[in-house]
Structure 1
Amino acid sequence: MAAVARAAQPPLWTRSFIAGTFLNFFIAGNYFMLMVIMTAYALNVYQAPPAAAAFCASAFIVGTLVSRFLCAPLMEKFGRVPVLVVACVCEVVFSVLYLVHEPLLALIGGRLLHGFAYGTASTTVATVMTSLIPSQRKGEGIGYFMLSVTLGSAIGPFVGIFLSNNFGYDWVFVVASVLVALAVPASLLLKPAKGSAVKGRPAKARAEEAAAADAASGARTGAPAEERREEAMATQLEAAADDPCGAGAAATKPAAMSAPVPEDGSDTARVPSTHLEEKVTEKLEHSPLSRFVEAGVLPIALVCGLLFFGYSSLLTFLTPYADQIGLSRAASVFFVAYALAMFVTRPFTGRAFDRVGPHPVMVPAFVAFVVGMALVAEASNDFILLGAAMLLGFGVGTVQSCGLAMAVRVTSDARLSVGNATFYMLLDVGVGIGPILLGLVVPLIGYSALYLAMAAVGALALVLFMIVARTEKGTRTA
């Protein structure tokens, strides 16, 4: 029976899935290879002040964050694959321009534009890939897809540091340019899910996407229109039961519930998956922000963004902390152990997510993050620090991939680009503001206390996750 069930599953490893996964590795490897050496490059080559040198690195994140707001309208206007191809070409151009050794202000401007290109490429390829992955295999497929980032985060920094220390910065720029150049042919191999390609005419594109939303987004694949109509009615009755006086029923009912389900079966009246999502959707539905932000994704994106705020403390302060406590040797391979744990656990957690839902998978991941941060704070030898790296790799990797799976499975294909942009935007905010805020705190409390505080942030994220996900409809907990 198990063999029959596996045979009945739709294919995952298609040409487009493989091409998109490799593409994501190419752009992630380029990003991490350059990010890890950029501050030192500005200090050593330009003799830039420390603050300006640090901004050469962080300017990239600023450009990425801006792209999250704009790439969804760009995809709607020009199409997903055309936007992806142009973004990959721009990444190649900006990577090559580092070899020109332009003035410092031009370097910062180039970093901003490179970040915009990377943010557009990463959001667009995620949108294409999440629309391609069969609904029954969302968790598994996204888990495999996100392994490309894991490999990039492990190989990129290692290659960047090795080349800069042994051959000079120009070799880093050459290798980074060649690596990201491979993303261009990979982007040309991508074929979007049928009916999901945006043609450059928004009205026509929205009509096409609405007709294909059931098949592409996986919200309720194959459900007849009558069943969806009954589901929407049942949800409305449930909401009415929660408000026995009926005073707020008309005022608080989201438009997604009250709108009729089209007779053609298109998924334009998606029922929100949680009561919290219903409330957020109601607030933002008629706001100008709705063009750039997918309301239903905000709750889980905020939770994941909070966890990535804690994760930013590792990126920023692990090296000086390890030097202080005499564990520099372990710190040099910390992110290798971190990435290895991600690589090993993500496929299993993705499949488990598809079978049992988010709670049994993500709760242990949040706990692993809390314990990992506590071990970093109290590390006294190499084994403790590397054990913490593996716990954190499991925790961060699982929360990121399963959080994205939660986000995309409640987003119709017509809004998938906005949903992906919203999710990654909140992760960027967490990683971007972390170094700034935590940099103000470290002189006051020290590194060890900082990592204990980040363990508390992880515990807070777990509490918020339980609030966000407790009412998710259709989630199996056994």
Structure 2
Amino acid sequence: MQQQPLWTKNFILVAFVNFFTFFIFYYLLVTLPVYAVQELHSSPSSIGLITTIFLIAAIMVRPISGKWMGKSGKYVIFLSAMGIMGAASLLYFFAHSLVGLLALRFFHGLGFGMATTANGAMVADLIPDSRKGEGMGYFGLTVNLAMVIGPFLGLTVMRHGAAAMFSINALCALVAIAIGLFIRLPKQNAASRSAQAQKTAGKLWERSAIPVSLLAAFFGLAYSGIISFVSIYAKEAGFSRAASYFFIIYAAVLLISRPFTGKWFDRYGAKVIIYPAIVCFALGTYLLSTATTALVFLVSAGLIGLGWGTTFPSLQTIAIQVAPPPNRGLATATFLSIFDFGFGMGSFFVGLVAAKTGYSVLYLGSTFLILAGIGLYYWFDQRSGGKSGITVRQTG
């Protein structure tokens, strides 16, 4: 039987748009705090609000976006999101106070939440059912690449001033909009869209996706400490030069492993992939906590990249597969909203814990948290019997 095509024009275009969406997020994540301190003379204690306000807006709008997609269609919500993100990117040139910047971040967060929800729902429709694991794995890689390239370019451009920084940001937003205009989704007639809207009427969450989303949020608690504080930890441990290579190694391992892990998910099932991936994630965090040389520090990056970089898209694939096809947009919104909540709470509490214990102890504790996730996954899997969003029947 001939395999259904994955690398279609529309799949590639949606993947590019998703890359630029997350590139902008990570690009501003590292540059806006510096801008706020140097240009707006904001206090360090208020800097955390720049990201918190953004994520609050994204979490708030995602469930509503999933419902809107049932009524108006995914592409309409996608274009609206791109319009908001484009407008927000241009308005950064005029954010001359912290209050104005925070208001803009909330507005931008609304567009980001809508865009990521629509992107995930559109790509789920474009990937053949028999290649869901492989396709979502490649799609997730766009986020990982953005996480590496965004901060690197942002910190480089910051040396040339705020105008250059915001110009790059606006250019990327406009490129994403231009690419988005060429996307063509399978047509859905008005009767079908009306039936879909009736099924999702009054629903802000896709119930079948909640268990696996909670599991992703649980792992997000540990991951938030890595993304937020690994550079600071490296500096304290004397690995300042190696720190710049941490996410490069992370991304390189993802690029090498992704063609295999996604296919194995489709061929052998979720459990065969997720259990080893969680173990790799835990081992990488353990090595990070005990690293005394730059080599061990970078090996931990590779293991974390393999472990978390496989676990996250696998869980997102399950969330989409267990939902009825008309509710895939709602399932994507549910998964990302719950995960972002866990990630956001993790960033807050991890900072408090690190201040009391230090980063080495923090990452050691994260190792045990991740290992506990194995038991949690097993428990959910046994209780679900394939009905609660952990076990999923493989197709193809």
Question: Which SS does the other structure have where 1:347 is aligned?
Answer: helix
Post-superposition offset of 1:350: 0.6
2:338 aligned to 426, 431, 435, which one? 426
Q: Which residue of 2 aligns with 1:60?
A: 54
Instruction: Considering fraction of residues, name the structure with more helix.
Output: 2
Matches within 5 A, 1:171-250: 171-195=164-188, 199=190, 205-207=193-195
Q: Which residue of 2 aligns with 1:214?
A: none
Question: Which SS does the other structure have where 1:46 is aligned?
Answer: coil
Post-superposition offset of 1:139: 0.5
Post-superposition offset of 1:469: 2.7
Q: Indicate if the aligned counterparts of 1:297 and 1:422 stay in contact, CA closer than 8 A.
A: yes
Post-superposition offset of 1:333: 1.7
1:130-164 per-position Cα deviation (integer Å, ceiling 9, x unaligned):
01111001001111111111221111111001100
2:26 is equivalent to residue 32 of structure 1:
yes
Post-superposition offset of 1:35: 0.9
1:175-198 per-position Cα deviation (integer Å, ceiling 9, x unaligned):
111112111122222222454x7x
Q: Indicate if the aligned counterparts of 1:206 and 1:414 stay in contact, CA closer than 8 A.
A: no
| One-letter amino acid of the structure 2 residue matched with residue 122 of structure 1 | T
**In structure 1, what is the Cα distance between the partners aligned to 2:46 and 2:81?**
27
1:313 aligned to 202, 222, 225, which one? 225
Q: Indicate if the aligned counterparts of 1:65 and 1:428 stay in contact, CA closer than 8 A.
A: yes
Q: Which residue of 2 aligns with 1:322?
A: 234
Q: Indicate if the aligned counterparts of 1:304 and 1:461 stay in contact, CA closer than 8 A.
A: no
2:374 aligned to 462, 467, 472, which one? 462
Structure having greater relative contact order (Cα 8 Å, sep ≥ 6): 2
Post-superposition offset of 1:57: 2.6
| One-letter amino acid of the structure 2 residue matched with residue 382 of structure 1 | A
**In structure 2, what is the Cα distance between the partners aligned to 1:85 and 1:414?**
20
Higher-Rg member (1/2): 1
| One-letter amino acid of the structure 2 residue matched with residue 384 of structure 1 | V
1:22-51 per-position Cα deviation (integer Å, ceiling 9, x unaligned):
111111111111111111211111111112
Question: Which SS does the other structure have where 1:293 is aligned?
Answer: coil
Structure 1 residues 105 and 344, CA gap change in structure 2 (3 angstroms): same
User: Mean Cα displacement is larger for which, 55-64 or 13-22?
Assistant: 55-64
**In structure 1, what is the Cα distance between the partners aligned to 2:192 and 2:278?**
42
- Where structure 1 has 5 or more consecutive residues not aligned to the other structure, the ranges are 211-267, 269-284
2:66 is equivalent to residue 72 of structure 1:
yes
- Where structure 2 has 5 or more consecutive residues not aligned to the other structure, the ranges are none
**In structure 1, what is the Cα distance between the partners aligned to 2:196 and 2:100?**
42
Question: Which SS does the other structure have where 2:177 is aligned?
Answer: helix
Q: Which residue of 2 aligns with 1:276?
A: none
2:120 is equivalent to residue 120 of structure 1:
no
**In structure 1, what is the Cα distance between the partners aligned to 2:259 and 2:325?**
24
Aligned residues: 388
Post-superposition offset of 1:207: 2.6
Q: Which residue of 2 aligns with 1:17?
A: 11
Q: Which residue of 2 aligns with 1:409?
A: 321
| One-letter amino acid of the structure 1 residue matched with residue 168 of structure 2 | V
**In structure 1, what is the Cα distance between the partners aligned to 2:283 and 2:257?**
17
1:328-362 per-position Cα deviation (integer Å, ceiling 9, x unaligned):
11112211111222222122111000000011111
Q: Which residue of 1 aligns with 2:359?
A: 447
Structure 1 residues 53 and 443, CA gap change in structure 2 (3 angstroms): closer
**In structure 1, what is the Cα distance between the partners aligned to 2:319 and 2:67?**
19
2:104 is equivalent to residue 110 of structure 1:
yes
TM-score, normalising length: structure 2: 0.93
2:131 is equivalent to residue 143 of structure 1:
no
Question: Which SS does the other structure have where 1:182 is aligned?
Answer: helix
**In structure 2, what is the Cα distance between the partners aligned to 1:421 and 1:89?**
19
Q: Indicate the percent of aligned positions where both proteins have the same amino acid.
A: 31
1:386-437 per-position Cα deviation (integer Å, ceiling 9, x unaligned):
1101111111111111111111111112211110001111210121111211
Query: RMSD in angstroms over aligned alpha carbons?
Result: 2.0
**In structure 2, what is the Cα distance between the partners aligned to 1:361 and 1:318?**
26
| One-letter amino acid of the structure 2 residue matched with residue 62 of structure 1 | I
Q: Indicate if the aligned counterparts of 1:10 and 1:134 stay in contact, CA closer than 8 A.
A: yes
TM-score, normalising length: structure 1: 0.78
